[in-house]
Amino acid sequence: MSDYLLEMHHITKAFPGVKALTDVSFKVARGEIHCLIGENGAGKSTLMKVLSGVYPHGTYMGDIVFDGAVQSFGKIGDSVRAGIAIIYQELALFPDLTVYENIFAGNEVRRGAVVDWNRTIVEAKRMLRKVKLNVHPDALVKDLGVGKQQLVEIAKALSKDVKLLILDEPTAALNENDSENLLALLRELKEQGITCIMISHKLKEVISIADKATVLRDGRTICTLDAAKGEIVESVIIKHMVGREIEDIYPKRANKTFGEPILEVRDWSAYDAQSGRHVAKNVNLQVRKGEIVGIAGLMGSGRTELALSLFGTPRSYRLRGEMRLNGAPVAFKHTSDAIGAGIAYVTEDRKGDGLFLIQDIKSNVTAANLRGISARGVINDNEEVKVANAYKDSLYVKAPSVEQIVGNLSGGNQQKVSLGKWLFVGPKLLILDEPTRGIDVGAKFEIYTIMNQLIAQGMSIIMISSELGEVLGMSDRVYVMAEGRIKGELQAVEADQEKIMQLATQ
């Protein structure tokens, strides 16, 4: 038998237009804890989806050797039967079912055609003891904290005789105590012979737990580090994570003079009653006129939530702190108040909550400012077409006409329509959330150029971005967020990828 439980050879996976993985090779020895590290979009999740059969055999190139045999998983069920269990960041539990029902969901203990509930409960208790979770199997999952839910997930995986346990950012939503417990459990499972792959953004955890760590960057394996050789230390990991050359696709701005502060936020906290935690905590920030302020951080660091809390979306947030616009304190009850005060928020999820996909370009462009094309509540159709055409031209939207349905446009053009909608409002402060996610380089350059034009016209911009190149290339100042807090503020001249990554992974 080979020393390696899992070997992935030369995996290449392409999506239409993007190569997500290029010739990735990756080996996991029996009984080790192997961490997978990389920036957002480096290909970690795609690699795990290839392994688990979410992307079935045949849709990628390369071989998977698991437990000594070449595998061709056609669906998730195949990898589960082989002994691979994945626990995603978004837990896949049924909140309204009990702990024991959850542990054996899809893997019921049967006696003939019916479920043997008594044995299920006995087995569930055994699994719960294994993961050291002291709850009654009758408890409903929704009544447990996130940390305990995670343990239920692990118990579920163990109940299927798992050989390889994969955890995707298991501690992202956990507090420090729960994180510690989880790591301790992983060490213990390792003693029992369970091999584990953990994807994590928190380098401290990686350093404390990993036997080996593989760094992915831009869909390629960069290196595998070995703890036994003393290679798993922060500086080495960060160097490999960000070692990419930054292409110079960022148009320069000639005039860099900043005016008065337009937005000041002091001691700003947003408590989300739904998830029961602070999505933003004691945030202080300032944006001056004519400035592009970058907010860097990894996914889930609270950047979007902070922006939404400033934009007057109540959702279930309880807000505390002070927000000043042009020196005057403001409090928004509804997004319309924020828009009226001169703030615009271009969402990160243009398809989900940015655009009206079934409507045409002109209706989307004017949706947030119908007053601008109407008199006494009646819309002037011709004026609307004129306005939409103007934005179509100035934002380089490629479409035959403004009557084109937005859902049929490419990502880059959709993003420009989304931007056009907010420019028509005439904001003083534009919040861009991941402005270039999922769009090609040409469209990116166009959006950067537009940003510079807007600044020249006297606007201020907050740019939230996971792309370090973009943050460094466009911002005048950078705030780095992690766990809902601002972990640091860097001037453009002093910022570099290592510094930002160091703050973001604290």
Partner 1 sequence: MNFFKEAKSLVKVNIREYGMYIALFVIMLTFSILTDGLFMSSRNISNLLDATGYTAVLAVGMTLVIVIRHIDLSVGFAAGFMGAIAAILLTQGGVPVYLTIPIILVLGVVAGMFNGVLVASIGIPSFVASLAGMLIFRGALLRVTEKTGTINIKDEHFNAIGNGFIPSLADVGGLNLSSLILGVVVIALYIYFEVSKRRNKLNYQFEVVSGRIFALKLVFVSVIVAYITWIIAGYNGFSWTVIIMLAVVIVYHFLTTKTVLGRHIYAVGSNPEAAHLSGINVKKITYFVFGSMGMLAALSGILFTARLQSATTTAGTLFELDAIAAAYVGGVSSAGGVGKVTGSIIGAIVMASLTSGMNLLGVGISYQYMIRGGVLAAAVIFDVLTRKKRG
Task: Tell me the closest approach of the beta carbon of residue 383 to partner 1, in angstroms.
Answer: 8
At residue 402, φ and ψ (nearest 5 deg) are: -80, 0
Close Cβ partners of 489 (under 8 Å, ≥ 6 residues apart):
477, 478, 479, 480
Residue number with CB closer to partner 1 (229 or 333): 333
Q: Which of residues 371-390 bind partner 1 (CB under 8 A)?
A: 371, 374, 377-379, 381-382, 385-386
Residue number with CB closer to partner 1 (327 or 400): 400
Residue number with CB closer to partner 1 (149 or 364): 364
Residue number with CB closer to partner 1 (339 or 397): 339
- Of 354, 412, 435, 484, the residue at the interface with partner 1 (CB under 8 A) is 354
Close Cβ partners of 469 (under 8 Å, ≥ 6 residues apart):
244, 246, 247, 250
**Sole window of 55-63, 265-273, 318-326, 345-353 interacting with partner 1 (rule: CB under 8 A):** 345-353
Residue number with CB closer to partner 1 (100 or 332): 332
Q: Does 340 help bind partner 1 (rule: CB under 8 A)?
A: yes
Residue position matching structure tokens 């056009």 = 420
Q: CA-CA distance, 435 to 480, in Å (whole number)?
A: 17
- Of 2, 107, 118, 359, the residue at the interface with partner 1 (CB under 8 A) is 359
Using DSSP bridges, classify how beta strands 460-464 and 292-296 pair: parallel, antiparallel or unpaired.
parallel
Residue number with CB closer to partner 1 (195 or 304): 304
Structure tokens at 349: 């999820």
Q: Does 313 help bind partner 1 (rule: CB under 8 A)?
A: yes
Own/partner pairs, 283-286, CB within 8 angstroms, 24+ separation:
283/321, 283/484, 283/485, 283/486, 284/486, 285/479, 285/486, 286/261
Q: Does 311 help bind partner 1 (rule: CB under 8 A)?
A: yes
Inter-CA distances, 90 with 27, 39, 152, 506, Å: 26, 19, 13, 22
Complete DSSP assignment for 386-426: HHHHHHHHHTT---S-TTSBGGGS-HHHHHHHHHHHHHTT-
- Of 102, 195, 347, 497, the residue at the interface with partner 1 (CB under 8 A) is 347
Q: CA-CA distance, 180 to 73, in Å (whole number)?
A: 34
Complete DSSP assignment for 140-181: BGGGS-HHHHHHHHHHHHHTT--SEEEEESTTTT--HHHHHH
- Of 4, 88, 117, 356, the residue at the interface with partner 1 (CB under 8 A) is 356
Task: Tell me the closest approach of the beta carbon of residue 344 to partner 1, in angstroms.
Answer: 10
Q: Does 410 help bind partner 1 (rule: CB under 8 A)?
A: no
User: Are 44 and 38 contacting, i.e. CB atoms less than 8 angstroms apart?
Assistant: yes
Residue number with CB closer to partner 1 (42 or 432): 432
Residue number with CB closer to partner 1 (134 or 382): 382
For residue 268, the SS3 value is strand
Close Cβ partners of 69 (under 8 Å, ≥ 6 residues apart):
none
Q: Does 335 help bind partner 1 (rule: CB under 8 A)?
A: yes
Residue number with CB closer to partner 1 (107 or 408): 408
Q: CA-CA distance, 330 to 326, in Å (whole number)?
A: 10
Task: Tell me the closest approach of the beta carbon of residue 343 to partner 1, in angstroms.
Answer: 10
- Of 228, 254, 328, 358, the residue at the interface with partner 1 (CB under 8 A) is 358
**Total residues interacting with partner 1, rule: CB under 8 A:** 36
- Of 139, 140, 146, 357, the residue at the interface with partner 1 (CB under 8 A) is 357
Q: Does 415 help bind partner 1 (rule: CB under 8 A)?
A: no
Q: Buried b / exposed e across 11-33, counting CB within 10 Å, b at 16+?
A: bebeeeeeebbbebebbbebbbb
Q: Does 421 help bind partner 1 (rule: CB under 8 A)?
A: yes
- Of 161, 353, 393, 494, the residue at the interface with partner 1 (CB under 8 A) is 353
Q: Does 310 help bind partner 1 (rule: CB under 8 A)?
A: no
Q: Does 334 help bind partner 1 (rule: CB under 8 A)?
A: yes
Q: CA-CA distance, 426 to 416, in Å (whole number)?
A: 15
Residue 333, number of CB atoms within 10 A of its CB? 9
Residue 81, number of CB atoms within 10 A of its CB? 11
Structure tokens at 67: 């437990």
Q: Does 47 help bind partner 1 (rule: CB under 8 A)?
A: no
Q: Does 316 help bind partner 1 (rule: CB under 8 A)?
A: no
Residue number with CB closer to partner 1 (252 or 376): 376
Give the interface with partner 1 as residue ranges (CB under 8 A).
311, 313, 334-336, 338-340, 345, 347, 352-359, 363, 366-368, 370-371, 374, 377-379, 381-382, 385-386, 405, 407-408, 421
